Chain A
Amino acid sequence: MVQKLDQLKESPSQTAGPYVHIGCVPNFCGIEGVFPEDLGVTMVNDQTRGERITVTGTVYDGTGTPLKDALVEIWQADADGIYPGNDPRGAADPNFTGWGRRAGDYTTGEWRFDTVRPGAVPFPDGRLQAPHISFWVVARGINIGLQTRMYFPEDDTGKDPILSRIEHQNRVPTLIAAKTGEGEYRFDIRLQGEGETIFFDI
């Protein structure tokens, strides 16, 4: 016998289920008067620094059917590459939350974030990563939240410390948004099959 490590195990994940809206976006699903507004709906205000962008998308299952019950969260740096919240490098733009949460539309499955273009954030070795937005997707049928990242089509992602080390370079485009207009981006997420989005174990 040896000494015990005295460590705990992470709580097992369970699906968010089809009624995740009740807990996370109650106003969206018609439960009004409990919380004044759904958290994560508003990321910016009039004072927020940086280029305003929208990110629109849909999550698709392996049959190509849109998920109409997905909940999508994003987390990103401000225009200067600093994270709001608890970034050890200092304070971020006080008029930017960095965190957004949206439910897919009940009919189409589409969601949209109104945010700003993030600045570049360093990799642990000091190299700059290409600007990106972190995504977390939960829904009925997803046993543990899926983590991925969105990158921008204008940026040189070829030298990015993460993207450049991916073996299957033909899958990298699944992480790059399409520009659909001035400041407008589309980022569809495919859970399975052809064009399956790269998901990370981080």
Chain B
Amino acid sequence: MTLTNQPPGGGFFPRDRGWQPAALTPQYKSSVARSPSRALLSMPQTLSEATAPVFGHNIIGPLDNDLIHNYAAEGESAIGPRIVVYGRVLDETGRGVPNTLLEFWQANAGGRYRHAKESYVAPLDPNFGGCGRTITADDGSYEFRTIMPGPYPWPNRANDWRPAHIHFSLFGRGFCQRLITQMYFEGDPLIWLCPIVDVVPHREGIEDLIAPLDMNRTVPMDARAYKFDMVLRGKRQTMFENRVEGM
């Protein structure tokens, strides 16, 4: 059957390169020597792009979505404002993306990462590692608990600061949906000063990365809540696929 050579579901929507950041963004200096200078080569999607690894719920441990406790000593917890981050992973058609692996990492409440190459003067929190993961539910929803990360200075221009943020890695159903992005927090004035945020060419795109406070999802006397939906490339769904005549 020739049909089985087609990417399942007819393939993914083309990536909108005018919506996504360009490779070369001199305000973010590291991009200057790390950006391809030749045009990307467009090619049709094949099974190599339309398939992706599937991770089972069995890889997820009970504390993987609890950064307050997953690195903490017995009976202790990470320092910082306690928050819940929740939302859905959707595709561009608005459908939830179920059973997909989400990984997230962040600095501690003082803006310090647990990493050998990190040199910021703010102290490590012995009870905070900074990584977590979960798998989305059948409707694409997810939730985890953490502490609010701190902003921090970084070597770029003379005085650049990262707004508080959480990094996300997403898989989806096709390897060409693979995406890494960052979540920012409503009301942070550093968002509009950050050269890494500024690589996103449209203001609406930046706003898509800012999580609003949701008082209705807070845990009273415990944790505030921020909602963060993420969108992966959509999949074409039509009975009229582009098949060779007569097939």
Interface string of A120-143 (1 = CB under 8 A from B): 011111100100101010111111
Tell me if B231 counts as interface (CB < 8 A to partner A): yes
Q: Is A185's CB within 8 Å of the partner chain B?
A: no
Interface residues in B92-150 by Cβ distance below 8 A to A read: 92-94, 101, 103-105, 113-118, 129-133
Number of interface residues of A (CB under 8 A): 83
Q: Does A183 contact B (CB under 8 A)?
A: no
Q: Which residue in A10, A21, A126 is a CB contact (below 8 Å) of B20? A: A10
Q: Which residues of the partner chain A approach B233 to less than 8 Å between Cβ atoms?
A: 10
Chain A, range 125-168, C-beta contacts under 8 Å to B? 125-126, 129, 132, 134, 136, 138-147, 149, 162, 166
A181 within 8 A of partner (CB): no
How big is chain B's contact interface, by range? Answer: 35 or more
Which residues from A are CB-within-8-Å of B47? 77, 83, 87-89, 121-122
Chain A interface secondary structure, helix, strand, loop or mixed?
Answer: loop
Q: Using CB atoms, name the residue of chain B closest to A37.
A: B59
User: Which chain A residues have a beta carbon within 8 Å of chain B's beta carbons?
Assistant: 6-24, 26, 29-31, 33-36, 39, 61-63, 65, 67, 69, 73, 75-77, 83-89, 97-99, 106, 121-126, 129, 132, 134, 136, 138-147, 149, 162, 166, 171, 191-193, 196-202
* Contacts A9-B16, A35-B61, A125-B244 known; 5 new A-B pairs at CB < 8 A: A10-B179, A34-B129, A123-B5, A132-B48, A143-B31
Q: List B residues at the A interface (Cβ < 8 Å).
A: 2, 4-8, 14-17, 19-23, 25, 28-38, 40-49, 51-55, 59, 61, 63-64, 70-71, 90-94, 101, 103-105, 113-118, 129-133, 167, 169, 173, 175-176, 178-182, 196-197, 199-200, 204-206, 208-209, 230-234, 244
